[in-house]
Structure 1
């Protein structure tokens, strides 16, 4: 990829900037004017814009960082220290005329994840007890967590993603075909610990968390077993802690286009107007969360209970429930055949 592919105009819309961030997969774009750097736009800048209810059709200059950290060519050896000190993932390199001549990326140049903590040691709970009926007939043979994406089961890909940030203590809730799941991990050499939590009966997307009451005593992650989130898990935890949330939902920005003309009518059923193929943007729940350990005490014992019910419980009590948005292409879902095929394609793997 050429450097110029990361250059954008300040007149570009934030929505179009999001699309370009997805296309380049570099998490940063440089806002240029007359060959000079005017600012940068990153996932974090757009996340803050979304959380402030900003309009995605506005110009990117309204959301960009106007004072980005940069480094001159002559000081490029200091780039690693600057990136690490400021906890940023990329830094533009300028020449003596203040033209951008390069970008140094933390992950690419220093071969490790940018971690806001020395190491994430927080527990991870993976909800793997469901039957996966939407993926039948595959799940008539294999439990959903063991369905391979390429040559790796989806649940192992989830664990590997957390493990990149240091997490090595996992709790997996199991029920349907649980012996197959347990056998797979029992026989596998792995640099982490998987603890199985057995549901006697299906307990929904949150009910089995009650079984971890008194076991998990620190902030923890929860993930469905059929999703992958591409993002900085360390940054998610930092955001959760900084905002003192009881629960943080990892959400995805989802763009929908209605493929028809939408009719607007008044109370007398008279047509007021029409909107041709309107477009809408929503924040949707991905199925990944960060929870405080006291949440375990608010889940009823041996009861079918969904995470949405726990979230609504805290909303009704006035407790803080936060949201951490990721880009649409950062969320991969294999809950249905079409989504599973999309996950395989986007990960660049093959099930053949």
Structure 2
């Protein structure tokens, strides 16, 4: 099994932590960077090879990870000279990828079993399966439904809760899904989804109920570090064993 990790972003929202280090290399706790946690998890769930899509401060990621051998992985790189979006970097290496593979952001902490997720996708005929997470947003206000003219109230809801599913930034992809696009073009996840839906192709949703934290803002990073003592055994069971030894 093969994974493409997107690690080329500037991490602007996470400044000042990313002023001198790329976001995937910021440390969690006092032992691992985000990227190291992900690499260890991929190896534990059956992956043997990884493509790292790098850009901003990519030389630091390349120097830190190397060929991946210390993680039990074979790691190769693809460089973005200019930002290509979420899916764009994959187009440049598409011919070297297996029929089914994983694409994921390099700033995610989760105990999702990546191997099982990809295997479930492979048992379907979906063009892409998105790992999704349940979210709720509670309104601070009473919500009024009005008629088309905007002059009459037709319904009222006191501080309703809106329930929805969000993308976890982890995708199981079938290679042929991306054949229609040209290497080097900018391609975001949003564009891909809209293109597929426009063609009548239905992406799959794989709802996950475990731990997931997208480290996009300083407060997310602070949360990750605060939770690390409790979450380390969940995210990295081998870490808990080594600590006990």
What TM-score range do you get, normalising by the shorter chain? Answer: 0.7 to 0.9
2:97 aligns to what?
Answer: 216
Relative to structure 1, is the Cα distance of residues 349 and 340 closer, same or farther in structure 2, using a 3 angstrom cutoff? farther
Displacement after TM superposition at 1:341 (Å)? 2.0
State yes or no: 1:291 paired with 2:178.
Answer: no
Q: Structure 1-normalised TM-score?
A: 0.61
1:313 aligns to what?
Answer: 195
Equivalent of 1:254 in 135, 157, 161 = 135
Report Cα offsets for 1:299-327 as digits up to 9, x if no partner: 32212211221222222222231110112
Conserved 8 A contact 1:333-1:339? yes
Conserved 8 A contact 1:247-1:311? no
State yes or no: 1:235 paired with 2:116.
Answer: yes
2:235 aligns to what?
Answer: none
Structure 2 Cα separation of the partners of residues 240 and 289 of structure 1 = 9
Report Cα offsets for 1:82-133 as digits up to 9, x if no partner: xxxxxxxxxxxxxxxxxxxxxxxxxxxxxxxxxxxxxxxx100000111010
Equivalent of 1:200 in 61, 78, 81 = 81
Displacement after TM superposition at 1:163 (Å)? 1.4
Equivalent of 2:63 in 173, 180, 183 = 183
Equivalent of 2:153 in 246, 253, 271 = 271
Displacement after TM superposition at 1:286 (Å)? 1.2
Equivalent of 2:204 in 305, 314, 322 = 322
Q: Write out the 4+ residue segments of structure 1 that deviate beyond 6 Å after TM superposition.
A: none
Relative to structure 1, is the Cα distance of residues 241 and 272 closer, same or farther in structure 2, using a 3 angstrom cutoff? same
Equivalent of 2:40 in 154, 160, 175 = 160
Matched residue of 1:134: which SS?
Answer: helix
Q: Which sections of structure 2, spanning at least 5 residues, go unmatched?
A: 232-245
Aligned residues: 228
Equivalent of 2:24 in 145, 163, 178 = 145
Structure 2 Cα separation of the partners of residues 168 and 254 of structure 1 = 32
Once structures 1 and 2 are overlaid, which stretch shifts more, 204-213 or 261-270?
A: 261-270
Matched residue of 1:156: which SS?
Answer: helix
Equivalent of 2:12 in 133, 137, 141 = 133
Displacement after TM superposition at 1:270 (Å)? 2.8
Structure 2 Cα separation of the partners of residues 317 and 185 of structure 1 = 39
Relative to structure 1, is the Cα distance of residues 175 and 255 closer, same or farther in structure 2, using a 3 angstrom cutoff? same
Q: Structure 2-normalised TM-score?
A: 0.86
Specify which structure has the bigger relative contact order, considering alpha-carbon pairs within 8 angstroms and separated by 6 or more residues: 2
Conserved 8 A contact 2:47-2:115? no
Q: Which sections of structure 1, spanning at least 5 residues, go unmatched?
A: 1-121
Displacement after TM superposition at 1:345 (Å)? 2.9
Alignment of 1:78-89 (within 5 A): none
Relative to structure 1, is the Cα distance of residues 176 and 167 closer, same or farther in structure 2, using a 3 angstrom cutoff? same
